[in-house]
């Protein structure tokens, strides 16, 4: 099938319901805004498309003259001259196609780059709360499929609309100039071409949608089972035979829908070919009789046949142009939905005010959900306050650059995150300029160099998905080594020893002591016994600081801190008694 035929099939295979969708006001104007940097290239691109469309008609008309004016009169000079012109047009068409593809790729890939970088940067700058609600797969789809769908608006859809519209006008005009009777006869067969194509197109669109759903379901199942946490769950609780059977059922559904799509596409192609063949037979039959009766030349007959072969593809594509355009615009709209995300959230903290003096350790304690993590997130500028300010060395964090903030403030979370990369790469993420010697010193200070040194690949050992090849204590110590490489003056610590065994806790505590030496620290304390020597303890409850003072002062005051400490001390004592019993 010709290129026009393939474009028609692709158009008909799309979901036609998208044509009825109402776009968000202003979408088209925003789309044109993205086209502005490429308007010169788009102009050249469209000019080439127009010239290429003209060549579609030029060749059959030249063949008419070659036969009528050269072959039949036996004029070899005319034959050679016209044959050379046809060959030249073929070469020109090939060159134009290459140049057109170059412009198309420059425009399309440039647009993909613009959209992806803008969406990526915008999403990364959302507050952490956004990522707790957002579905990662959906965001990746917006950066992948929807961005590619959007760029097609300026490449395949734009070129298809312009090329097919011009080709259709020129082909019908050329055919009518050669024989209006045969042209009307060919156009009379159009409904027999379009109606089955529309029917099969809707069927293919439905099957394609079903295939996408089934593939997504299959992909989700593999993703869930193939990551470390999912694989562990399957090993611990799963039934291998059941897993194999359920996967086989889903894979079988994908196989069956693939067979149905292939069969329907074959029927579609056969139907198109059959109608086109019948139209060609009609032209040859009626036109042949006219040629026998000398009312039509042989060259005209062959030119009409050649033009007819080029007619139905553009005709089908034009009839579905709204589907093509709306499909591309809807992809743009989905990308804009991400770009229009705004930071927001309800009020969590109220009347919170305190200062951390240089070289001191301030602890945040309180019940779960009190607002402790939100306070540390403000210091790390994971959020910006809606009222008031957070200052480091007298500078409002909203006025500081992210680079200077990262140099001044270091954070160790309760669960350290490591990328699926080498130890070296994970350390260098915090300090790209760090030498191997710097890394070794940081690892020694973090009490983890002996482990790294014992590994077969040392610093080049891959830690696995989320660092799963390492224990919790080892991951935390690597995170502290990463922090020491950065060397910030202010440490924000969500107590990292809360869920570790005693041996790991001791090693990690030594690493923390090294990290906190001569530094200012703001620490979330889950175990109150670990912050008895803090310079200041802030008790947070329901988004407010309800008590402040030293450990001794707060215990003596008999308030919330004393209650929490007494409860926690009793639980620890019960655990000790149970062990002794």
Q: How far apart are CA 405 and CA 355, in angstroms?
A: 18
Fold for domain 361-580? Answer: Rossmann fold (3.40.50)
CA distances from 128 to 162, 201, 345, 366, 495 (A): 45, 44, 11, 22, 19
Q: In the numeric block, which tokens belong to residue 132?
A: 């707790």
What's the CATH superfamily of 3-199+282-339?
Answer: ABC transporter type 1, transmembrane domain (1.20.1560.10)
CA distances from 146 to 137, 153, 286, 547, 576 (A): 12, 11, 49, 51, 58
SS3 138: helix
CATH 3.40.50.300, the chain: domain bounds? 361-580
Q: How far apart are CA 331 and CA 510, in angstroms?
A: 53
Give the pLDDT score at 153: 67
| Cβ-count burial 130-156 (b if 16+ within 10 Å, e if not) | beeeeeeeebeebbeebbebbbbbbbb
Q: Is 201 exposed, middle or buried (0-12, 13-18, 19+ CB in 10 A)?
A: buried
CATH 1.20.1560.10, the chain: domain bounds? 3-199+282-339
- Output DSSP code: residue 213: H
Q: How far apart are CA 507 and CA 444, in angstroms?
A: 11
CA distances from 470 to 57, 465, 478, 489 (A): 68, 10, 10, 28
Please state the length of the chain.
Answer: 581
Contacting residues for 184 by C-beta, under 8 A, at least 6 apart: none
Give the pLDDT score at 5: 45
Q: How far apart are CA 467 and CA 256, in angstroms?
A: 39
SS3 36: helix
Q: 361 - beta bridge partners?
A: 521
| Cβ-count burial 510-538 (b if 16+ within 10 Å, e if not) | ebbebbbeebbbbbbbbebebbeebebbb
Residue at token pair 């050329």: 174
Q: Which of 164, 243, 241, 212 is nearest to 4 (CA)?
A: 164
Q: What is the number of other CB atoms lying within 10 angstroms of the CB of residue 426?
A: 23
41 contacts 348 by C-beta, under 8 angstroms: no
Spell out the long-range contacts of 81-87 with Cβ–Cβ below 8 A and sequence spacing 24 or more: 86/59, 86/62
SS3 395: strand
12 contacts 201 by C-beta, under 8 angstroms: yes
> How does pLDDT run along the chain (581 residues), one tens digit per residue?
444 444 444 444 454 554 455 666 777 787 788 888 888 988 898 899 889 888 888 989 998 899 989 999 988 999 999 999 999 999 999 999 899 889 888 888 888 888 888 888 887 777 766 666 665 656 676 666 677 777 766 677 777 788 888 888 888 899 899 988 888 888 887 777 677 666 776 777 677 778 877 887 887 788 777 776 677 667 766 677 888 888 899 899 989 988 988 888 787 777 777 777 888 888 888 888 998 888 889 999 999 888 888 887 787 777 666 666 766 777 777 777 777 766 555 677 888 889 888 888 898 998 888 888 888 888 888 777 888 888 888 888 888 887 788 788 888 877 777 888 899 998 988 888 889 999 999 898 888 898 899 988 999 998 887 777 888 788 888 888 888 888 888 888 876 665 555 666 677 677 777 777 888 888 888 777 777 888 899 999 988 999 999 888 988 999 898 888 888 766 544 444 343 33
297 contacts 68 by C-beta, under 8 angstroms: yes
112 contacts 328 by C-beta, under 8 angstroms: no
Triad 392, 553, 538: Cα angle to 5°:
30
- In 418-532, the DSSP E strands lie at 490-494, 520-524
Pairing of strands 520-524, 536-541: unpaired
Q: In the numeric block, which tokens belong to residue 149?
A: 């769908």
Q: How far apart are CA 314 and CA 327, in angstroms?
A: 18
């Amino acid at each position: 099938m010709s290129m026009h035929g393939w474009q028609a099939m692709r158009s008909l295979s799309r979901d036609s319901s998208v044509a009825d969708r109402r776009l968000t006001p202003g979408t088209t104007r925003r789309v044109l805004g993205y086209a502005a940097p490429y308007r010169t290239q788009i102009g050249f691109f469209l000019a080439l498309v127009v010239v290429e469309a003209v060549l579609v008609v030029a060749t059959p008309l030249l063949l008419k003259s070659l036969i009528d004016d050269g072959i039949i009169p036996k004029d070899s000079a005319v034959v050679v001259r016209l044959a050379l012109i046809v060959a030249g047009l073929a070469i020109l068409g090939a060159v134009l196609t290459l140049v057109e593809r170059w412009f198309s790729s420059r425009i399309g890939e440039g647009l993909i780059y613009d959209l992806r970088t803008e969406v990526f940067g915008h999403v990364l700058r959302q507050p952490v709360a956004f990522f707790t609600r957002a579905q990662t797969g959906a965001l990746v789809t917006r950066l992948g499929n929807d961005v590619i769908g959007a760029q097609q608006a300026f490449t395949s859809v734009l070129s298809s609309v312009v090329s097919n519209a011009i080709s259709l006008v020129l082909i019908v005009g050329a055919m009518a100039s050669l024989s209006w009777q045969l042209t009307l006869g060919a156009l009379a067969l159009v409904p027999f071409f379009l109606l089955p194509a529309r029917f099969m197109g809707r069927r293919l669109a439905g099957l394609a949608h079903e295939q996408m759903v089934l593939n997504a379901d299959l992909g989700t199942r593999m993703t869930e089972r193939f990551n470390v946490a999912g694989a562990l769950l399957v090993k611990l609780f799963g039934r291998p035979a059941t897993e194999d059977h359920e996967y086989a059922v889903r894979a079988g559904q994908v196989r069956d829908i693939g067979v149905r799509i292939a069969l329907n596409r074959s029927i579609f192609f056969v139907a198109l070919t059959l109608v086109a063949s019948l139209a060609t037979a009609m032209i040859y039959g009626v036109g042949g009789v006219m040629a026998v009766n000398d009312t039509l030349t042989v060259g005209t007959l062959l030119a009409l046949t050649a033009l007819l072969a080029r007619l139905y593809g553009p005709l089908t594509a034009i009839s579905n142009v709204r589907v093509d355009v709306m499909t591309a615009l809807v992809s743009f709209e989905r990308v804009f939905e991400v770009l229009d995300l705004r930071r927001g959230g309800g009020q969590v903290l109220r009347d919170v005010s305190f200062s951390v003096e240089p070289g001191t350790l301030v602890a945040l304690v309180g019940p779960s959900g009190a607002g402790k993590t939100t306070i540390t997130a403000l210091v790390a500028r994971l959020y910006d306050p809606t009222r008031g300010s957070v200052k480091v060395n007298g500078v409002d964090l909203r006025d500081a650059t992210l680079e200077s903030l990262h140099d001044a403030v270091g954070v160790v979370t309760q669960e350290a995150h490591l990328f699926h990369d080498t130890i070296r790469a994970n350390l260098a993420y915090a300090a790209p300029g760090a030498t191997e010697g710097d890394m070794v010193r940081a690892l020694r200070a973090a009490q983890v160099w002996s482990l790294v040194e014992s590994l077969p690949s040392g610093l080049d050992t891959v830690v696995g998905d989320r660092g799963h090849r390492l224990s919790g204590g080892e991951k935390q110590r690597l995170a502290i080594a990463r922090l020491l490489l950065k060397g910030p003056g202010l440490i924000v610590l969500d107590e990292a020893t809360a869920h570790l065994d005693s041996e790991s806790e001791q090693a990690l505590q030594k690493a923390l002591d090294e990290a906190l030496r001569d530094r200012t620290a703001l620490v979330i304390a889950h175990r109150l016994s670990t912050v008895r020597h803090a310079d200041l303890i802030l008790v947070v409850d329901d988004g407010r600081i309800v008590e402040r003072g030293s450990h001794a002062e707060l215990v003596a005051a008999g308030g919330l801190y004393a209650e929490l400490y007494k409860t926690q001390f009793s639980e620890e004592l019960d655990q000790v008694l149970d062990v002794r019993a």
